[in-house]
Amino acid sequence: MAFKLDAKIPAGALADKWSNHKAAIKVVSPANKRKLDIIIVGTGLGGASAAASLGELGYNVKVFCIQDSPRRAHSIAAQGGINAAKNYQNDNDSVYRLFYDTIKGGDYRAREANVYRLAEVSNLIIDQCVAQGVPFAREYGGLLANRSFGGAQVSRTFYARGQTGQQLLLGAYAALNKEIAAGSVKSYPRHEMLDIVIEDGEAKGIIARNLVTGEIERHGAHAVVIATGGYGNVFFLSTNAMASNGSAAFQCYRKGAGFANPCFTQIHPTCIPVHGDQQSKLTLMSESLRNDGRIWVPKKIEDVKAIRSGAKKPSDIAEEDRDYYLERRYPAFGNLVPRDVASRAAKERCDAGFGVNETGLAVFLDFKTAIERLGKEIIKQRYGNLFDMYEEITDVSPYEQPMQIFPAVHYTMGGIWVDYNLMTTIPGLYAIGEANFSDHGANRLGASALMQGLADGYFVLPYTIGDYLSKKIQAPKVKTDTKAFDEAEKSVKERIAKLLSINGKQSVDDIHKKLGHIMWENVGMARTKESLERAITEIQALRKEFWKDVKVVGKADDFNVELEKALRLADFLELGELMARDALNREESCGGHFRSEHQTEEGEALRHDDKFAYAAVWEYKGMDQAPEMTQEALDYEFTHRAQRNYKD
Amino acid sequence: MNFTLKIWRQKDAKSQGAFETYKVENISADTSFLEMLDILNNDLVHQGKEPVAFDHDCREGICGMCSLHIDGRAHGPGDGATTCQIYMRKFKDGATITIEPWRSAAFPVIKDLVVNRGAYDQILQAGGFVSVRTNSVPDGNAIPIAKADADESMDAAACVGCGACAATCKNGSAMLFVAARVSSLAKLPQGRVEGARRAKAMVAKMDELGFGNCTNTGACQAECPKQISIAHIARLNREFLSAKLDD
């Protein structure tokens, strides 16, 4: 049965839609809010801000996270900044320009109405965070400072050194603490959601595992919000935190929620290259570095060889022998092209044999020109912590020699399908932040993830969830001794027992590395029909291998990290196949999704708007069954879909 | 490189723990300390043994999850780095490395090297926030803040809440952690409004949870992975005293 998708986009002019919608949706009175329970899973920027705001409104909120404290969610690691259309720099920025840059940056595969709303509330976020005491960077006059990020020709990114995500999350976490202290929010750290409970077609609660005791718990609520981030760790190596996973989202998909555009993965251009095969994690170097750093490889192949052999240092290569290939190919945006464009350009040079390290998979990010222009002290002020981190990891000082960088998996634009209210195809089940699919199309611009997480949590969900809950004011407390809860708990326990009983020969990490390899080689920066078909076959085989040969040590009723990882990998092994299927279906290139068969003569992504101007929404049909796809047409009423141009 | 590891193993909060010895071999100097433990754990799983439980997540030095006492130092050798940012090139080939959990009465061991740092959350819940509602705020540029003050606030706000300060302090004091939050907000006009209440409530909660007193040894500052200065403790003391004098 295909989905009957209704995005519930309000009528009217683009700039009026959100106002009109807010006026039209229902609200819940303070007395009734006290009777309503909401579960929020995840405490990153989306989850923490939503929990704090909903608690403040008077709802009873339970908030869950897998870390030992809500403050450690992976939003904390975002470095560069957060966008807003304040126009404080007087460079002709506006809500419309932020909207337009985001829609274009996403290669015209996001919803106009959602993106406009995001741009519209962006300014409120900055005000909110300042009031919470977030120490944003300031100018000498005491006002807020800005810098530039990829895909924009204005300076609209607010930042707190290279730790913007940390500071924004500490702001949201503080707001959450205020509500925990007030008793409106109850926090469940070291808890992992393992299933969503659906009764009468509506979300009624979750099954969670206490990660300390292993106890399986039932939690009921009138609405459930998924704020668990993205699924980039399907690639094993990514910039995501080690425990970041796609399981909560995948449980929703398994129980009937639509999963949209799973193949839209962001490969971030500036990460520290992979070394050896013992690595567990990749490290991101902030996009803000591209404000002053210039990306290049040598023009001559003999220089490449000399650098690889150590005969020459990068600083020995004369200016005229360097190929600043982003500046060459994209004069208008230069080093600040969007991430997908920068990543593909690096791949193109490395594929042509110009990669500058022994693996041939690295390019230079050089601060020589900036240090000459501004002095070492200014560069140190701007990027000191990033330079130190780079030196700690690689033993090379970026003040002396250029950084070596290469693209790595960073963010997933795809996610749970939501309507304009951020509700999934299951009534009462919401998805916010990176966990949903709605705002970034096929490529997310830098400094927009923080914006979306906080927009959803502070300024969108607290209103839209009221529209649904207004119909629940007569509903009693959700009972957890029902058949639906019994069945969900039973299936979770059976899954755990099964994993512990296999006692095969391969560790969870052994199999996860194999999955990562299949994904990176076949569903990575460039994809073809052949590579995707190969990925599907290989993942299916690997999944069988997993369920026959994985070795999960330890017990169910204990602190057991191997079991946690096995449960997450089981879901990644299905999600990886879904990503490949989605990529196979989408016979065009757009944003981060690059099908080699579909490119312009200059090697740019070639969209086919006549056939693929839709979000692909997938419906689960069983572990070894092909999922069914429903299209949500993306009608562009207000912008003209053009070939993305960052050249002039 | 090859190493001998002496690692604290403890089944749960109630059990007695003990050191066990392990060998790891052929470790690249570019491997991070936690990747070295990943390699050990993968070997243990292959042998059918329970891997060593340790906390970690972002591996970029910002989430504050990792928390190992290595050769007697919180977060191991090197200054201004969390455990996840320590690379094996910092150790001598063939070295014996001792790995323990945080040792602090207020952070009980959960298992092996994993401790419960919920006390830090509780201290912040006591007052580590500005009481503003969502959407009830002025424009971001309505309150100019001197760059020096914003920078100093940011210095303190860099705290990752890892617990190294309390775990290092001979008195088990959480003063640097509390000071970082109080001082960060005290430097901003937004935080001043509730300054007195905040300082009193957070200090009272810290005392209630069993953290010790500060005797200004400076050990916390030396081991803080974010190099937060004890000058913030001085500011906390000033905030606290002036709040008490007003009582």
- Which pLDDT score is estimated for A618? 98
Using H for helix, E for strand and C for coil, what is the string for A504-517?
CCECHHHHHHHHHH
Mean pLDDT over each residue of chain B, to the nearest integer: 97
Is residue A417, in this structure, part of any structural domain at all? no
- Which pLDDT score is estimated for B176? 98
Distance from CA of B135 to the nearest CA of A (A): 7
Domain CATH for A367: 3.90.700.10
Which residues in A lie closer than 8 A to residue B138 (C-beta atoms)?
Answer: 127, 131
- Which pLDDT score is estimated for A361? 94
Classify residue B42 by burial, with Cβ atoms within 10 Å: 0-12, 13-18, 19+: middle
pLDDT band for B78, please (50, 70, 90 cuts).
Answer: confident
What separation in angstroms does the CA of A623 have from each of A495, A544, A627? Answer: 13, 11, 9
Is residue A471, in this structure, part of any structural domain at all? no
Is residue A583, in this structure, part of any structural domain at all? yes
Which residues in A lie closer than 8 A to residue B64 (C-beta atoms)?
Answer: 71-72, 76
Are A468 and A427 in contact by the 8 Å Cβ rule? The answer is yes
ipTM over 0.95: yes
Range of the domain at A503: 483-612
Domain B3-111 belongs in CATH node 3.10.20.30: yes
Q: Does residue B151 have a pLDDT over 70?
A: yes
**DSSP secondary structure string for all residues of A25-74:** S----HHHHTT-EEEEE--SHHHHHHHHHHHHHT-EEEEE-SSSSGGGSG
Beta bridge partner(s), residue A268: A408
Q: Does residue B134 have a pLDDT over 90?
A: yes
Interface test with B, best of A161, A169, A561 (most B CBs within 10 A): A561
Is residue A312, in this structure, part of any structural domain at all? yes
The CA distance from A91 to B102, in Å, is 50
pLDDT in tens, A482-520: 999 999 999 999 999 999 999 999 999 999 999 999 999
Which residues in A lie closer than 8 A to residue B30 (C-beta atoms)?
Answer: 275-276, 393-395
* Chain B CA closest to residue A557: B12
Pull the structure tokens for residue B192. 């001043």
The CA distance from A150 to A291, in Å, is 9
Residue keyed to tokens 């990529």: A583
Structural domain count, chain A: 2
Domain CATH for A498: 1.20.58.100
The CA distance from B107 to B165, in Å, is 12
Which residues in A lie closer than 8 A to residue B124 (C-beta atoms)?
Answer: 173-174, 177
Distance from CA of B168 to the nearest CA of A (A): 20
Statement to judge: residues A491 and A390 lie in one domain: no
CB distance from B76 to chain A under 8 Å? Answer: no
Which residues in B lie closer than 8 A to residue A394 (C-beta atoms)?
Answer: 30
CB distance from A469 to chain B under 8 Å? Answer: no
Residue ranges of chain A whose pLDDT lies below 50 = none
CB distance from B116 to chain A under 8 Å? Answer: yes
Q: Calculate the CA A271 to chain-centre distance.
A: 16
Is residue A139, in this structure, part of any structural domain at all? no
The CA distance from A229 to A250, in Å, is 12
- Which pLDDT score is estimated for A1? 64
Segment 31-50 of chain B within 8 Å of chain A by CB: 31-32, 34-35, 38-39, 42, 44-46, 48-50
- H/E run at residue A18: helix A17-24
Segment 210-239 of chain B within 8 Å of chain A by CB: none
For residue A632, which of A647, A618, A615 has the smallest C-alpha distance?
Answer: A615
* Chain A CA closest to residue B142: A143
- Which pLDDT score is estimated for B246? 87
The CA distance from B36 to B45, in Å, is 14
Active site residues of A: 339
Segment 138-197 of chain B within 8 Å of chain A by CB: 138-141, 143-147, 150-151, 153-154, 157-158, 160-161, 184-185, 187-188, 190-191
Are A281 and A425 in contact by the 8 Å Cβ rule? The answer is no
- Which pLDDT score is estimated for A453? 98
Q: How many CB atoms lie within 10 A of CB A80?
A: 27
Report the SS3 class of residue A628: strand
pLDDT in tens, B87-123: 999 999 999 999 999 999 999 999 999 999 999 999 9
Homologous superfamily of domain range B117-246: Alpha-helical ferredoxin (1.10.1060.10)
Option in B32, B51, B146 nearest A562 (CB): B51
Statement to judge: residues A507 and A405 lie in one domain: no
